[in-house]
């Protein structure tokens, strides 16, 4: 089934879609292999992996899109794209939505911070645009999409419960399919439940901070239509590489690394090398079956060789 329709159907069935955040095609593949139902292209992760910089919108829309396109081409599960602020005003948002839709994502997340943004997971404060401008961006996103199954997720970074509810309602009225608060604004489960009820739309939650520490999966599922662990993959890889690379530098040997390495053959299988090897064996000139294949075409072998 088309990933967009699949995501729509799961949300319509009122069952929480669980996912994790990726930062490149390989991490997306590993998330899919782990059995998650969807993958989020994390702006935080992409900025870290692509630029080695914090998530302050240093990368461009096209740089983000290049990573997202590879993720979509790599996995079969729905891909939800972090599109930051839409990279400008409502006009810019229209182009952003069309480009990411053409790349094949199932949903886009647009936030109401000023441009350039600051990641609330690490910044001590963020600034939001006026509500009327945020509404215009969501209206632009809805107008720009060509496939009605593409989900528009409106994120608000306002720092008060009342402000978040007011904006969520306004964004829903503008056509948003889902709304997303930031964890710093929501202080407890009761506040999240009030937000969800007031919005009247499924809630997208990025499970960070106190949500990770204090809420059970059942509590999250009661609130969220989509629940993501956006940074777990990135932080796992970063810590594992620090641990093993420091040991490797000290010992200059891979025999006693603190963490085990993935088996080479298993890694090749993860990357679908057996399927590629099968194509090579069937279609490349040095393959055993190539002469038989060529004879079926009627093309002289010397003409191919030349």
User: ω before 116 within 30° of 0 (cis)?
Assistant: yes
Asked if 22 and 36 count as a contact pair (C-beta separation under 8 A), the reply is no
Selection from 151, 155, 194, 149 nearest residue 171 by Cα: 155
Which entry of 119, 154, 164, 165 is annotated as an active-site residue?
Answer: 119
Tokens representing residue 162 in the block: 């009342």
Selection from 88, 20, 23, 83 nearest residue 51 by Cα: 23
Q: Is the dihedral of CA 44, 49, 51, 54 positive or negative?
A: positive
DSSP, residue by residue, 187-238: -SHHHHHHHHHHHTSPEEEE--THHHHH--HHHHHHHEEEEEE-SHHHHHHH
Q: Is 83 a catalytic residue?
A: no
Catalytic residues, by residue number, are 119
């Amino acid at each position: 089934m088309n990933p967009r329709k699949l995501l729509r159907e799961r949300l319509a069935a009122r069952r929480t879609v669980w996912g994790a955040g990726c930062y490149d095609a390989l991490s997306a593949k590993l998330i899919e292999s782990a059995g998650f139902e969807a993958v989020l292209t994390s702006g935080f992760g992409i900025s870290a992996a692509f630029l080695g910089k914090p998530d302050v919108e240093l990368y461009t829309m096209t740089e983000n899109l290049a990573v997202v396109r590879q993720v979509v081409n790599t996995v079969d599960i729905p891909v939800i794209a972090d599109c930051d602020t839409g990279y400008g005003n409502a006009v810019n948002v229209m182009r952003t939505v069309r480009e990411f839709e053409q790349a094949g994502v199932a949903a886009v997340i647009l936030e109401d911070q000023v441009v350039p943004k600051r990641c609330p997971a690490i910044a001590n404060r963020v600034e939001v645009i006026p509500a009327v401008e945020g509404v215009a961006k969501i209206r632009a996103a809805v107008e720009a999409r060509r496939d009605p199954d593409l989900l528009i997720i409106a994120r608000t970074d306002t720092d008060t419960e009342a402000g978040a509810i007011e904006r969520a309602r306004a964004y829903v009225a503008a056509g948003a399919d889902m709304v997303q608060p930031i964890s710093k604004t929501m202080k407890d489960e009761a506040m999240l439940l009030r937000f969800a009820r007031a919005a009247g739309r499924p809630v997208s939650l990025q499970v960070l901070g106190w949500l990770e520490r204090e809420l059970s999966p059942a509590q999250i599922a009661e609130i969220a239509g989509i629940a993501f662990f956006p940074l777990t993959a990135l932080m796992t890889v970063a810590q594992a590489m620090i641990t093993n690379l420091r040991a490797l530098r000290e010992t200059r040997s891979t025999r006693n690394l603190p963490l085990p390495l993935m088996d080479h053959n298993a890694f090749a299988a993860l990357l679908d090398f057996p399927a590629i090897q099968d194509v090579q064996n069937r279609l490349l000139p040095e393959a055993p079956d190539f002469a038989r294949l060529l004879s079926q075409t009627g093309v002289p072998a010397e003409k191919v060789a030349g």
